[in-house]
Amino acid sequence: MYDVKHWKHVFKIDPNKPLDDKDLAGLCESGTDAIVVGGTDGVTLDQVIQLLAEIRRYSVPCVLEISNLESITPGFDYYFIPMVMNSGEKTFVMDLHHEAIKQNRSLLNWDELLVEGYCVMNEEAKVFQYTGCYLPEEDDVIAYAQLAEHVYHLPIFYMEYSGEYGDPQLIQKVKKELNHTRLCYGGGIKTPEQAVEMSQYADLIVVGNVIYEDLKAALETVAAVKQKM
C-alpha cells in the first residue's frame, strides 16, 4: 500500500470531462503523488472504469473519490469518501455512506477507505449547491476542523474552494488546529506560486480545473510543491 500520509500533491481528474491520452500521460508521469478520479455531476460507471484502465497503464497511485453510488467500482488503490460537514442535508453527511456500505459490503476493504471531512467554501461551486451547503464563518470552519480531528478522528479535513482560489490566512489558521487529521486544500490553483503558497499550510493540495485550461501550468505545480519539501 502507498503512504497516503506523505502525499503532498494530487491531480483530480473529472471523468465527465474529456482529456486526451497525451495529456493524461503527462499527468500520470508528472511525479504527482496520486491521481484522484472524481467530479460532482454526470459521473457514470463507464467513464470511471475507462479512466481507471487508462491510468493503470502508469505506476502512479490511483484513487476514486466517490461521486455517487452508481459509479463505485473495485480496482482503485484507495477510496476517498467525502463527508460534507457544512451541508444542510444529512444525505451528504451520512445517508449516502450508509447506503454505499449496504450495496458494496462484499467488496469492501476498510483499509482502502479514507473519509474526507469536506468544508465547502465557494458558494458558486457546483458541489456547494449540489450538497446544499451554507457558507461557514471563520469560527464555524475552525469548529468543523476540531470536529473532524477530535470527535470523528477523520484522516482528512478538506478545505474545498473548487473553482476559486481560497484564503491562505484561513488555511493557516485551520492548520494550527490540526495535529493528526491531514489538511487538504483544493480550489483555483493555477500557478506554481499558488501551489507553493497553499502547501505552506495544507498538508496536501489538489489541482483540478487548470488541467483542462493550461496543462503546462498544471504540471508545473508538481515540481513547485516537491521542491519546496
Task: Enumerate binding residues for ligand 1GP (CB under 6 A).
Answer: 12, 160, 162-163, 186-189, 206-210
User: For ligand 1GP, which is the closer residue by CB, 117 or 208?
Assistant: 208
- Give me the residues paired with residue 11 across strands: 35, 207
User: For ligand 1GP, which is the closer residue by CB, 61 or 166?
Assistant: 166
Name the minimum Å distance from CB 191 to ligand 1GP: 11
User: For ligand 1GP, which is the closer residue by CB, 155 or 208?
Assistant: 208
Name the minimum Å distance from CB 124 to ligand 1GP: 11
Q: What is the number of the residue whose Cβ is closest to ligand 1GP? A: 186
Name the minimum Å distance from CB 106 to ligand 1GP: 29
User: For ligand 1GP, which is the closer residue by CB, 52 or 128?
Assistant: 128
What's phi and psi for 43, nearest 5 deg?
-80, 125
DSSP 60: S
33, 7 contact by CB (below 8 A): yes
DSSP-derived 3-state class of residue 186: strand
The C-alpha cell at 130 is 449540489
For the chain, how many residues are written?
A: 229
User: For ligand 1GP, which is the closer residue by CB, 162 or 199?
Assistant: 162
Name the minimum Å distance from CB 7 to ligand 1GP: 14
Name the minimum Å distance from CB 63 to ligand 1GP: 12
Name the minimum Å distance from CB 105 to ligand 1GP: 28
DSSP-derived 3-state class of residue 43: coil
Which residue's entry shows cell 473553482? 163
Cα dihedral 182, 99, 68, 78 sign: positive
Question: How far lies 160's CA from each of 29, 58, 107, in Å?
Answer: 25, 28, 29
Question: How far lies 218's CA from each of 161, 167, 207, 211, 221, in Å?
Answer: 17, 20, 7, 5, 6
User: For ligand 1GP, which is the closer residue by CB, 52 or 205?
Assistant: 205
